[in-house]
Structure 1
């Protein structure tokens, strides 16, 4: 039975913004967001299965509908990656495909009302469940940090460790301004994954709050239900543009950063 706080609009919103967590280690040293882990890993596996189904029985003539759709999507991402990245690596297109479609699937969970997922789980004994992984900053930071390490890998592989270190200390002001170069490059490199993570998280988390506010409005009598339906439909249509756009921006910026990391300065 819901507590008194959960029956208020503020309590309702806070309840749906609370992650299902578990403490790991002595004294709760490490906190895992189980809902984010389950949804992100599950959607990643779903992406793999959907692509596998398209390639299980490929035809060279007239492809099936699903195969044709997947081929169009993959060709679109591949074209964007080739137009943006000018280095020799063949890993960029698989990275771009993984980022775009994985983030797209995670964002699309927002189209399912939160109660449709959380309420059945509550009846099963799960007190909290936040279904949209990209509305959790831990998920977006995890992806952006992975991109950061890929940037380091691409840069060191292209320039060598010595060349990377020399450029990090001497660009852009020359060797006599080494402390300023070091400070500027540290800020530049760290700002990229932070901006990647916060941009995606901010858009998805903000959209989640607006959806919850609209659902609260829908519970304020007949007039509120009508207004909630109208606003909810409008916000959902708007988010149908935001969801793929945010996945596309994350993918494109990641490719740009990988390309820049290989260029000499």
Structure 2
């Protein structure tokens, strides 16, 4: 451990705490560390892709251009295979979600005590570095996607078409109240599943890193390295799943029955 704690419970509590603006018990408090690192990773994403676009060449591409082209091609293929409507937004949105979530997840692989130690050195009690292990961040992203789902459902089908879909499917006009309940539950389940899946995996991974950090230093490496390699697969997979489900949900919103 980088700092002294009275017990293992205090260590775990400290590393799972947030740098908060306002009353931590209040709904209106803001997790400043989540905001800072999520915006920082968003800025890093923009910087990397702007640099690749700035120095793009039709000749022999550099390593950065190769990497960006691979990512863009991969995401574009997922959109072509999954999305069946027509929209200029879906591919850029999918690319943004995939890379941004991956970068936020990747923070989990930094030395576990480094950022809290540096924060403590400048007088900050808490500094949690992984935004996607904060349910507020994952719910925020999923609610933004949910807003797009509702928007496109009404935009493509029209207000009357959307109302008919909510009231008449799947059992017809004689069971409209039952149909409405089922459709509301189905729609609400989309942002809930998106956010909780990402949050649960990242939170559990961080908790395991915390437990490994409590072990003696000569044991930490034997467990930390394999878990970090496995976690690299998980953080990529979770970014991919969030992206693909977003594409699927928006494709469903574009279907006009």
Residue of structure 2 in register with 1:250 after alignment: 242
Taking the aligned partners of 2:43 and 2:243, their CA distance within structure 1 comes to 19
How large is the Cα RMSD of the aligned pairs? 1.6
Q: Deviations over 1:85-108 (max 9, x none)?
A: 010112110010010000000000
Residue of structure 2 in register with 1:221 after alignment: none
Kept in 2, the 8 Å contact 1:214–1:231? The answer is yes
Kept in 2, the 8 Å contact 1:16–1:114? The answer is no
Say if 1:119 and 1:70 are closer, same or farther in 2 by CA, change over 3 A. same
Taking the aligned partners of 1:227 and 1:126, their CA distance within structure 2 comes to 29
Say if 1:85 and 1:47 are closer, same or farther in 2 by CA, change over 3 A. same
Taking the aligned partners of 2:176 and 2:256, their CA distance within structure 1 comes to 17
* Deviation at residue 75 of structure 1 after TM alignment: 0.6
Residue of structure 2 in register with 1:262 after alignment: 254
- TM-score when scaled to structure 2? 0.95
4+ long deviations beyond 6 Å: none
Comparing 92-101 and 160-169, the one that deviates more: 160-169
What SS is found at the alignment partner of 2:214? helix
Kept in 1, the 8 Å contact 2:156–2:256? The answer is no
Kept in 2, the 8 Å contact 1:23–1:29? The answer is no
Residue of structure 1 in register with 2:52 after alignment: 54
Query: RCO higher in 1 or 2 (8 Å CA, sep ≥ 6)?
Result: 2
Q: How many residues align?
A: 255
Q: How does 1:70-85 map to 2 (within 5 A)?
A: 70-85=68-83
* Deviation at residue 3 of structure 1 after TM alignment: 9.6
Residue of structure 2 in register with 1:37 after alignment: 35
Q: Deviations over 1:24-72 (max 9, x none)?
A: 8xx9561000000000011101100110000112111211111111111
What SS is found at the alignment partner of 1:37? helix
User: Which residues of structure 1 form unaligned runs of 5+?
Assistant: 219-224
- TM-score when scaled to structure 1? 0.93
Kept in 2, the 8 Å contact 1:114–1:131? The answer is no
User: Which residues of structure 2 form unaligned runs of 5+?
Assistant: none
